[in-house]
Amino acid sequence: MALQRLNIVNIRNISRQELIFSNDINVLYGSNGSGKTSVLEAIYMLSTGKSFRAQRMAAAVQHGAEGAVIEAWMQNTSIKLQKKGAKKAQFFVANQVTNSIVELARLLPVQLLSLQGYQLLNAPPEERRKFFDWTMFHVEPGFLKLWQDFHRTLKQRNAVLRDKYSQNDGALNFWTEKLVETGCDLHETRLRVLKDWLEYTKNYCQDMPGVKNLSLDYLPGWNAEEVDYAERLALSLRQDSALGYTRFGPHRADLQISVAGEPAQQMLSTGQQKTFVAALQLAQSQWVADCTDKHPVLLIDDLPSELDKQARAKLSETLSKTPSQIFITSVEKKAFSTLLKTRPQKMFHVEHGLVTASAASNVASPKSVSKQAVNPLETA
Ligand SMILES: Nc1ncnc2c1ncn2[C@@H]1O[C@H](COP(=O)(O)OP(=O)(O)O)[C@@H](O)[C@H]1O
Ligand SMILES: [Mg+2]
């Protein structure tokens, strides 16, 4: 899964850059505003089709430039993003156009560990749902279809609930039945797959700083232990009709995270939350790797600089064990890397949008990088 080579043209302050990475750890260091996060952002955009720090991808295109190109080569394939002017970005896999972001995510799964990550604990349920559905997506081949079927049906039922006339002609019964069917499929699949993942995650995270008696519970989106989904929808029909939407179901699922019987965000300090969420994410990557043999690429943005000594040591111990390819940004060259010396590292100095492989690296360049011609502006 390792990203061997990356070309960036006109992303933020990076005008043109060709980079060859280590399959192990890549440390990008340099002062604030030098362009470190922009490199991670470029990788993230190839995997997800969006930036993690801008609503619109256009914001990442260099001011004054007509377009941008990002291209990455992995062992057996390549992904390219091309953005021209105001047009939508186009994606290519092995030089063939693709409209499927899902395909990108499967080819290059990435996980971002950043300062904002710890907000997962305080965020609305949607964020935690996305978090466990990321596991679902990678380890359960049929999950995406189940998810899409359910959400399409939900949309139809909600439309009928808003339209008072069509409720008389059986449309509501039809879509309710279908919602029960697709909702139960989705719920049961989550229940089955998440059971082991939650257990694994709990074991992985339970000795993080401040974490005692950790419990992780999947909440299905209704009181599924008391009533089945059909009954729940029947009970809430009148109110759903009045409101014009479906209140209960897998679209309301959540993950309840408690430490010593209290919500984790109340029990853990901000620093502890950061390490804890990082550990949750690492556990997730490891689980996906164990289940699928695909190791998500880890993008770690500035995180180490925010952690105290104990948290850094714990995190680096955890990172040392993962075989994933890692990209770490840091203002200080040695901030974190010294703790990870058990794994080979390649150091990159970033300065005013220029990224230079530094002589301090303790890893040789990968022997076989793709031989494909590299001229990112050719098609831009
Ligand atoms: N669209 C853009 N065009 C050109 N420069 C940009 C654009 N967006 C941000 N920048 C600049 O790019 C630099 C890169 O920032 P960033 O990657 O966040 O740096 P670091 O992570 O090293 O602190 C910043 O100096 C910022 O001012
Ligand atoms: Mg940064």
How does DSSP assign 348-380, residue by residue?
EEEETTEEEE-TT--SPPPS----S---TTTT-
Task: Give the position of tokens 């997962």.
Answer: 120
Q: Taking 80 as the threshold, does the pLDDT of residue 147 lie above it?
A: yes
In Å, the largest CA–CA distance within the chain is 74
Percentage of the chain beyond pLDDT 70 is 91
Three-class SS of residue 191? helix
Helix, strand, coil in percent for the chain, rounding step 5: 45, 20, 35
| DSSP state letter for 145 | H
Instruction: Give the domains, in start order, of the chain with CATH numbers.
Output: 3-109+296-357 (3.40.50.300), 125-263 (1.20.1050.90)
The pLDDT of 73-97, averaged and rounded, is 96
pLDDT value, residue 369: 42
Q: Ligand 1 pocket check: which of 8, 9, 11, 12 to mutate, most ligand atoms within 8 Å of Cβ?
A: 12
Atom of ligand 1 nearest to the CA of 34: 22
| Cα separation, 238 vs 240, whole angstroms | 6
| Cα separation, 240 vs 234, whole angstroms | 10
Strands 297-301 and 110-114, bridge-based pairing: parallel
The pLDDT of 173-194, averaged and rounded, is 97
| Cα separation, 133 vs 189, whole angstroms | 11
Pocket of ligand 1 (CB under 6 A): 12-13, 30, 32-38, 61-63, 329, 350
Task: Indicate the range of 24-38, 159-173, 208-222, 260-274 predicted with least confidence.
Answer: 159-173
Q: Taking 80 as the threshold, does the pLDDT of residue 192 lie above it?
A: yes
Q: Taking 90 as the threshold, does the pLDDT of residue 345 lie above it?
A: no
Three-class SS of residue 69? strand
pLDDT value, residue 375: 38
| Cα separation, 79 vs 123, whole angstroms | 32
86 and 58 in contact (C-beta within 8 Å)?
yes
The answer to pTM > 0.85 is yes
| Cα separation, 40 vs 70, whole angstroms | 11
Q: Taking 80 as the threshold, does the pLDDT of residue 336 lie above it?
A: no
43 and 68 in contact (C-beta within 8 Å)?
no
Burial class (CB in 10 A: 0-12, 13-18, 19+), 55: exposed
Task: Give the position of tokens 């709990």.
Answer: 202
| Cα separation, 281 vs 260, whole angstroms | 21
pLDDT value, residue 250: 98
Please say whether the dihedral angle defined by the alpha carbons of residues 274, 279, 285 and 288, taken in this order, is positive or negative.
Answer: negative
pLDDT value, residue 14: 98
Q: Taking 80 as the threshold, does the pLDDT of residue 341 lie above it?
A: no
Ligand 1, atom 25, lies closest to the CA of 33
Atom of ligand 1 nearest to the CA of 350: 22
Atom of ligand 1 nearest to the CA of 28: 22
Tens of pLDDT, residue by residue over 283-311, are 999 999 999 988 999 999 987 777 778 88
pLDDT value, residue 159: 95
| Cα separation, 40 vs 326, whole angstroms | 11
| DSSP state letter for 64 | T
CA of 192 to the centre of ligand 2 (A): 38
Closest among 353, 355, 321, 354 to 339, alpha carbons compared: 321
Ligand 1, atom 17, lies closest to the CA of 35
117 pLDDT band, cuts 50/70/90, is confident
Ligand 1, atom 8, lies closest to the CA of 12
The pLDDT of 160-167, averaged and rounded, is 80
CA of 13 to the centre of ligand 1 (A): 5
The pair of structure tokens assigned to 266 is 């109340």
CA of 167 to the centre of ligand 2 (A): 53
Average pLDDT of every residue of the chain? 90
pLDDT value, residue 114: 87
| Cα separation, 272 vs 265, whole angstroms | 9
pLDDT value, residue 167: 59
Q: Ligand 1 pocket check: which of 8, 11, 13 to mutate, most ligand atoms within 8 Å of Cβ?
A: 13
Three-class SS of residue 33? coil
pLDDT value, residue 378: 37
Tens of pLDDT, residue by residue over 32-67, are 999 999 999 999 999 999 999 999 999 999 999 999
339 pLDDT band, cuts 50/70/90, is low
Beta bridge partners of 330: 29
pLDDT value, residue 344: 85
| CB neighbourhood size of 162 (10 A) | 13
Task: Give the position of tokens 């279908």.
Answer: 178
Give residues with Cβ within 8 angstroms of 93, minimum separation 6.
Answer: 77, 78, 79, 103, 104, 107
Question: Residues 281, 287, 292, CA angle at the centre, nearest 5°?
Answer: 130
| Cα separation, 242 vs 238, whole angstroms | 6
CA of 266 to the centre of ligand 2 (A): 28
| Cα separation, 265 vs 245, whole angstroms | 30
Q: Taking 50 as the threshold, does the pLDDT of residue 243 lie above it?
A: yes
Three-class SS of residue 61? strand
362 pLDDT band, cuts 50/70/90, is low
pLDDT value, residue 323: 84
Atom of ligand 1 nearest to the CA of 329: 21
Ligand closest to the CA atom of residue 114: 2
